[in-house]
Structure 1
Amino acid sequence: MRKVWVVGGAAVGLGLSFVMLLVVGVYVVAGNLLGGVASAGRGLAKGAVPAAYQSLVQKWGNLCPALTPALLAAQLYQESGWNPTIVSPAGAQGIAQFIPSTWATHGIDGNGDGKRDVWDPNDAIPSAASYDCELAKYVKGTPGDVSDNMLAAYNAGAYRVIRAGGVPAIAETQDYVKRIRSLSQSFAAPVSRIDPTQQAAGAIAFAQSKLGTPYLWGGEGTAEQGGRFDCSGLTQAAYAKVGITLPRVANDQYNAGPHPSRDQLLPGDLVFFSTDRSDSRAIHHVGIYVGGGYMIDAPRTGAVIRFDPIDGADYFGATRVTADGAKALPTTV
């Protein structure tokens, strides 16, 4: 069980509120002065890909220069939410959402068992990577970024990319490329500092205004619920207040941006806790980091929204929420 720490007394609470907002201001200003954005390598962020698929995505995501493990993970998450049995209304099948006719020509036997099974992630994930890299070869000589052109070819077809001389002026295709690129940042292991979230101060201010509010399972702060929240309802509402729409549940909120390490946390980061520290889908709790090793969270039934320490056995990781990252998340997973 995580240790808890509750602020006693209104004066202490108000003082901490003021200090926390000052801390946010300092961090945001410092981030803006330093400039730059995070660059990502070819590794995966800890736990971002379910453990059952992590080695597959890491291996096959390096199949060709145009593809990275993070791009492959973003595509799979966008297509199926890691569900290997899903069937779309259009008839796309499995974790990589292959149409049967496409699978017939591009599916491969990824695990060498003599079968090409669209329902087996050991075949479907390698097939998705192989198909991406095949498309990258088709558009190799086309002007522009090779990865963007590959993604555009996946969405619109290689011929359209070649004819357009790059990503074609098709709204759906341009949105797809931007969405996968943004979403991939939540799967990539950062290799440099991640810029602060500009809206962090407003999100924290909202959460602080709810200190002392009783917890409610499923609570989203509606009048009918007496303005009460559960953990992810609070974080969703806090970022909605500053114009960023997050998914409703904690394990989907984890994918709303890149993942700073514990020693790079800044106020406004979402911090997550999981029953399985290798799998983001096992996340069971989220709070808003406020600095000094503490978060504001709605912890459990019988408790109130309060300050709690983040360090504990079930601490999983953090997400620096970005508007583009949140927009890139699929509406259903």
Structure 2
Amino acid sequence: MRRFWMAGGIGIGLCLSFLVLIVVGTYSAAAGLAGAGAAGGRALGLAKGAVPAKYQNLVQKWGTLCPAMTPALLAAQLYSESGWNPSAVSPADARGIAQFIPGTWAGHGIDGDGDGDRDIWDPNDAIPSAASYDCELAKDVAGVPGDATSNMLAAYNAGAYAVIKYGGVPPYQETQGYVKAITTLAKSFERPVGRVAPSQQAAGAIYFAQKQLGTPYLWGGNGTPDQDGRFDCSGLTKAAYESVGIELPRVANDQYNAGPHPSRGELLPGDLVFFSDDLTNSRAIHHVGLYVGGGYMINAPYTGAVIRFDKIDTPDYFGATRVTKDGAAALPDRSADAKSP
């Protein structure tokens, strides 16, 4: 709250040695790249499609309003607040895409599009107002030691006075959690400036998924006994990473934000691969699979099919996410609204 489908499957008859090579290859790739990491500093560019196209220019422009802000950070806040829903209303009456409470809006809302009014429901006003409000807070705590971005986010959550009083991020569990969540989530909106660090849990997730090969698909399936161990696409990927201690959201378009986004040429086994009806909008993602190398994924494709291998290079291929534990933990809980896939 702003305080204020697929081509036909390859089947399951691939030889065991191929599966062994996949798992061993995952560990080998992780070992070989573990020291590489992401080069350079924080990115100002946005990952392809991470921000819906109709808001991308706004976020890119206003996300550079002050030095403590980046477009990815602004995107992370908006996604966390409303999931890009301009009609969202919280139980506390926070409104719109940026979730301003009316009293806060009265003092801090701006006419972002210059049309003569300040409309809390209009993203053309609300997104610039969110950036402007953050930068006001950054200015209020500019003299406080420590990281300017963390202090700005802490002021947003706990108030500027608390940041000044404690000389940095206050020792409040909620505030420290908020700062960590937004700064971590921002990484999923950044266009990488170097190689994305490999996942250390990838092999275990693949091992889980390959054990499900041949299992019939079930819309809404989570693999529970009453569902005869059946899955849909995002249920399978969620369960695969849950088996290695990472809790993903239930739906595919939220799973996309669980980590940074390697390019097609940088994919590693264990990456989640996504498919969308709109290649400019991650919210339109309709399918997810688990990449296993060689241009193939394990996935639960559709009703009437079984969990199987499929090629990823299709016209609706959207992109990939390298899941991280911190990235998954930073995602807002939308379980009450979750629907398959």
Which secondary structure state, in structure 1, belongs to the residue aligned with residue 26 of structure 2? Answer: helix
After superposition, where does 1:162-201 map in structure 2 within 5 Å?
A: 162-201=164-203
Question: Partner of 2:73 in structure 1?
Answer: 71
Question: Partner of 2:293 in structure 1?
Answer: 291
The answer as to whether partners of 1:2 and 1:313 remain within 8 angstroms in 2 is no
Deviation of the 1:8 alpha carbon: 5.7
After superposition, where does 1:214-225 map in structure 2 within 5 Å?
A: 214-225=216-227
Deviation of the 1:13 alpha carbon: 3.5
Q: Does 1:330 align with 2:332?
A: yes
Question: Partner of 2:109 in structure 1?
Answer: 107
Distance across 2 between alignment mates of 1:85 and 1:184 = 23
* CA deviation profile, 1:41-78 (whole Å, cap 9, x unmatched): 10100000111111111110011111000000000011
Question: Which contiguous aligned blocks of 4+ residues in structure 1 show a shift greater than 3 angstroms?
Answer: 33-40
Gap regions ≥5 residues in structure 1: none
Distance across 2 between alignment mates of 1:37 and 1:229 = 37
* CA deviation profile, 1:200-226 (whole Å, cap 9, x unmatched): 010000000001111111111011111
Which secondary structure state, in structure 2, belongs to the residue aligned with residue 289 of structure 1? Answer: strand
Give the percent of matched residue pairs that are identical in Structure 1 and Structure 2: 69
* CA deviation profile, 1:220-243 (whole Å, cap 9, x unmatched): 101111111000000000000001
Which secondary structure state, in structure 1, belongs to the residue aligned with residue 286 of structure 2? Answer: strand
* CA deviation profile, 1:6-44 (whole Å, cap 9, x unmatched): 1463xx332221111111011111122445677531010
After superposition, where does 1:1-333 map in structure 2 within 5 Å?
A: 2-7=6-11, 9=13, 12-34=14-36, 39-332=41-334
* CA deviation profile, 1:137-181 (whole Å, cap 9, x unmatched): 111111000000000000011111111111111111000000000
Which secondary structure state, in structure 1, belongs to the residue aligned with residue 191 of structure 2? Answer: strand
* CA deviation profile, 1:309-329 (whole Å, cap 9, x unmatched): 110100000000000110110
The answer as to whether partners of 1:149 and 1:167 remain within 8 angstroms in 2 is yes
Distance across 1 between alignment mates of 2:297 and 2:189 = 23
Distance across 1 between alignment mates of 2:112 and 2:15 = 57
Which secondary structure state, in structure 1, belongs to the residue aligned with residue 207 of structure 2? Answer: helix
Amino acid at match of 2:158: A
Amino acid at match of 2:100: F
How many residues are aligned here?
Answer: 331
Amino acid at match of 1:111: D
Which secondary structure state, in structure 2, belongs to the residue aligned with residue 189 of structure 1? Answer: coil
My pick for the range that moved more, 208-217 or 33-42, is 33-42
CA RMSD of superposed structures (Å)? 1.3
The answer as to whether partners of 1:63 and 1:129 remain within 8 angstroms in 2 is yes
Amino acid at match of 1:87: V
The answer as to whether partners of 2:233 and 2:289 remain within 8 angstroms in 1 is yes
Distance across 1 between alignment mates of 2:287 and 2:8 = 14
Deviation of the 1:279 alpha carbon: 0.2
My pick for the range that moved more, 31-40 or 297-306, is 31-40
Which secondary structure state, in structure 1, belongs to the residue aligned with residue 45 of structure 2? Answer: strand
TM-score for both structures, normalised by structure 2: 0.95
* CA deviation profile, 1:115-150 (whole Å, cap 9, x unmatched): 000000000000000000111111111100000000
* CA deviation profile, 1:265-319 (whole Å, cap 9, x unmatched): 1110000000000000100000000111111001111111111111010000000
Which secondary structure state, in structure 2, belongs to the residue aligned with residue 201 of structure 1? Answer: helix
Deviation of the 1:2 alpha carbon: 3.7
Distance across 1 between alignment mates of 2:125 and 2:34 = 45
The answer as to whether partners of 1:214 and 1:305 remain within 8 angstroms in 2 is yes
Gap regions ≥5 residues in structure 2: none
Which secondary structure state, in structure 2, belongs to the residue aligned with residue 188 of structure 1? Answer: coil
Amino acid at match of 2:217: Y
Distance across 2 between alignment mates of 1:137 and 1:33 = 37
